[in-house]
Amino acid sequence: MTRRTEVFGVIGDPIRHSLSPLMHNTGYVARKRDAVYLPFLVHDLKDFLGAIPEFGIRGFSVTIPHKQTILKHLKDCDLLAAEIGAVNTVTVRRDGSLYGCNTDYVGVLRALESKMALRGSRILVFGAGGSARAAAFALARSGAEVFVCARRDAAAKDLARAVGGEAIPRRALRSQNFDAILNSTPVGMHPNENASPLTAQELRCNLVMDLIYRPFETKLLKLARKKGIATVSGFDMFLAQGFAQWEIWTKTRPPESAMRRAVLAALRDEQKVP
């Protein structure tokens, strides 16, 4: 690194699971760009934000649990992110102010549109955090009928109301049918790979998508596959939102093939990936 090196990063708690540094740094090497993307374990958001000038950070990704709390620290954000109420991408402007946007929205659509017709479909979003909000807004705007179920009833009702959907209690999952179920919670994420947010009996649907990309096939997806249900890993969404971030920060097209290969190779090292 030199004074000219562009610094980007990802903030979260936990952060060890993230393959964003691998994906973005592979891209910088492929493009011969003098830049680096670093992981930041952030417990206190204010402490990190105060250190941005010292690190010379140009932009950063936002993951659990800061996607919603980051909003109050932004000077401005795009209209979609403001409506969603969650941000996963922040640009540090020349004057030091922060501008936010949401590329999770794009990621969800790119991952699902090739697998099913969204308009008129019944889709359950399990969870009500930042990723769930992006997914719910993306699905609702695509014409899907959105249902929300979450551990916190109030959060589920708030999100359902925001997208014109319906909040349903957990007990209803054993009797209602959906075209697709989308998990947006971190349950089952590396290294807690033996956990599933839902039981096999609650998977009454034609397709299950897990926003978790590590492991490639989560316990939830394994349960679905054993029942003969189609599955979608969070891998494609992860790539799509990352490619969109690259374009926002660099104003150039990312080397998608190189970045995809690097992430897939890392996942193969941990788990047999088709």
- Evaluate if residue 38 carries a pLDDT over 90: yes
> Within 10 Å of residue 204's Cβ, how many Cβ atoms?
15
Q: In whole angstroms, how far apart are CA 274 and each of 165, 256, 265?
A: 35, 19, 11
Q: State the catalytic residues.
A: 67
Residue 269: band (very low, low, confident or very high) from pLDDT cuts 50, 70, 90: confident
Q: Summarize pLDDT for 39-92 with one digit per residue, the tens.
A: 999 999 999 999 999 999 999 999 999 999 999 999 999 999 999 999 999 999
- CATH code, residues 105-235: 3.40.50.720
* Same fold: 6-103+238-270 with 105-235: yes
Give the pLDDT confidence score for residue 189 in this predicted structure. 93
User: Which distant-in-sequence residues (6+ apart) come within 8 Å of 160 by Cβ?
Assistant: 136, 146, 147, 148, 166, 167
Would strands 166-167 and 98-101 be described as parallel, antiparallel, or unpaired? unpaired
Distance from C-alpha of 115 to C-alpha of 217, rounded to nearest angstrom: 17
- Indicate the CATH number of 6-103+238-270 among 3.40.50.261, 3.40.50.10860, 3.40.640.10, 2.60.40.1180: 3.40.50.10860
- Token pair for 142: 């695509």
The model's pTM is 0.88
Residue 274: band (very low, low, confident or very high) from pLDDT cuts 50, 70, 90: low
Q: Domain coordinates of the chain in residue numbers? A: 6-103+238-270, 105-235
Q: Summarize pLDDT for 182-241 with one digit per residue, the tens.
A: 999 999 998 899 999 999 999 999 999 999 999 999 999 999 999 999 999 999 999 999
